[in-house]
Amino acid sequence: MKRTFDIVLLLTGGLVAWELLHLAVPFALTSPAGTAAKAWSMLTSAQFWPHAAETGKAFVYALLLAILGGLAIGLGLGLNRTGAEVAEPILVSIYSLPKVTLYPLILLIFGLGLPAKIAFGTIHGIIPIAIFAMNAVRNLANVHFKTARVLRLSRRQTLLTVVIPGALPEIVSGLRIGFSLTLLGVLIGEMFASQRGLGFLIMNAIGLHDVPTIMATILLLAVVAVSASAILLWLDHRLHHRVA
């Protein structure tokens, strides 16, 4: 419970710093109280929810695709030594590409709308999930695979009862990063070219110099992202603890 106290302390410190920054540059930054009030009025307004739903829908689809695709690529390559060695540097360099550059390509393929946003979110999230899953499988002790063979498990049984449970802690670490980057990808997609969604709201507000809306939208996103991340982090720690 000391930790909860520390987190509250840290948040309080952050709020104080925010307030001070607000007092220093009042026009660039809404105060914490003002932002919270604005966020509340957005949450209770009718216009907000269609945008949130739009972003949420794109995000859920993108995340599902990133997870399924990332695990398929990662587990497949992880089980194949040569494949993993060939693919690793390629995956790592794709991971470090500024994917915003690829956005025009995505738009030209999918056109403006939901599919483009989903695709953009997916290309952000899929690579880290694949890299973590691949390395998790590669790092599994060889004796586990030998045991599976001694127990005469089929390939499917080996995958389901040995590979995935053994690699799970690392896979969850990858999901944590994939989660964040997928959300970022969807939001950037909406900011660059979209008529709906939270990214569009932010971009619109930037155009209108509507600082309270920018801040309130980011605050709401931050609350969602930090909560989801905290849950995944907790799961991550638990799984790693169990293995270690």
Residue numbers at the binding site for other proteins (CB under 8 A): 2-3, 6-7, 9-10, 25, 27-29, 82, 85-86, 89-90, 92-93, 95-105, 107-109, 176-177, 179-181, 183-184, 187-188, 191-192, 199, 202-203, 206, 209, 211, 214, 217-218, 221-222, 225-226, 228-230, 232-233
* DSSP string across the chain: -HHHHHHHHHHHHHHHHHHHHHHHSTTTS--HHHHHHHHHHHHTSTTHHHHHHHHHHHHHHHHHHHHHHHHHHHHHHHT-HHHHHHHHHHHHHHHTS-GGGGHHHHHHHH-SSHHHHHHHHHHHHHHHHHHHHHHHHHTS-HHHHHHHHHTT--HHHHIIIIIHHHHHHHHHHHHHHHHHHHHHHHHHHHHHS-SSSHHHHHHHHHHTT-HHHHHHHHHHHHHHHHHHHHHHHHHHHHHHHHH-
Choice between 37 and 80, CB closer to other proteins:
80
Choice between 62 and 148, CB closer to other proteins:
62
In whole angstroms, the minimum distance from the beta carbon of 140 to other proteins comes to 20
Choice between 124 and 148, CB closer to other proteins:
124
In whole angstroms, the minimum distance from the beta carbon of 50 to other proteins comes to 20
Choice between 158 and 173, CB closer to other proteins:
173
Choice between 109 and 243, CB closer to other proteins:
109
In whole angstroms, the minimum distance from the beta carbon of 148 to other proteins comes to 26
In whole angstroms, the minimum distance from the beta carbon of 185 to other proteins comes to 10
